[in-house]
């Protein structure tokens, strides 16, 4: 699969990310996109939520929101932003955070699956 084919499977704005953040260098962009395949941030976010370590969960969710935004992964960025917003609100419950994270997991896994199929 070629990089541009990702648009057929994911909510991703490759053109804007390339132009605005990666100097139109596909190899540079792809290198950063592939870093999602090895990051432990999602697992660490899940661990923080399971432990109810809300400060760490906020840090991980905020980081993933920004990384996904920079890579043009619009839907994922928005879903992480929803977790960030919830964690910054007063009176959220652990079950609310867990529900958002559980709903996000399939999209995260699908995203990694397709990124892993992109050839050089």
The full set of domain ranges for the chain reads 3-116
Give 3-116's CATH code, choosing from 1.10.1660, 1.10.3470, 1.20.120, 3.90.1690. Answer: 1.20.120
For 37-72, what is each residue's pLDDT tens digit? 999 999 999 999 999 999 999 999 999 999 999 999
Instruction: Report the phi/psi class of residue 52: left, alpha or beta, with left for phi > 0 and alpha for psi in -120 to 50.
Output: left
What is the per-residue pLDDT for 120? Answer: 84
Q: Kindly state the tokens that stand for 61.
A: 């969710």
Is the entire prediction scored with pTM above 0.85?
yes
For 4-42, what is each residue's pLDDT tens digit? 999 999 999 999 999 999 999 999 999 999 999 999 999
């Amino acid at each position: 699969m070629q990089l541009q084919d990702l648009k057929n499977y994911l909510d991703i704005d490759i053109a804007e990310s390339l132009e605005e953040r990666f100097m139109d260098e596909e190899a540079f962009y792809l290198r950063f996109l592939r870093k999602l395949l090895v990051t432990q941030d999602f697992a660490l976010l899940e661990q923080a939520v399971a432990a109810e370590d809300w400060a760490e969960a906020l840090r991980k969710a905020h980081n993933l929101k920004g990384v996904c935004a920079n890579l043009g992964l619009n839907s994922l960025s928005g879903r992480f932003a929803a977790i960030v917003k919830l964690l910054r609100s007063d009176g959220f419950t652990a079950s609310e955070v867990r529900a958002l994270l559980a709903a996000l997991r399939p999209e995260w896994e699908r995203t990694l699956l397709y990124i892993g199929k992109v050839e050089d």
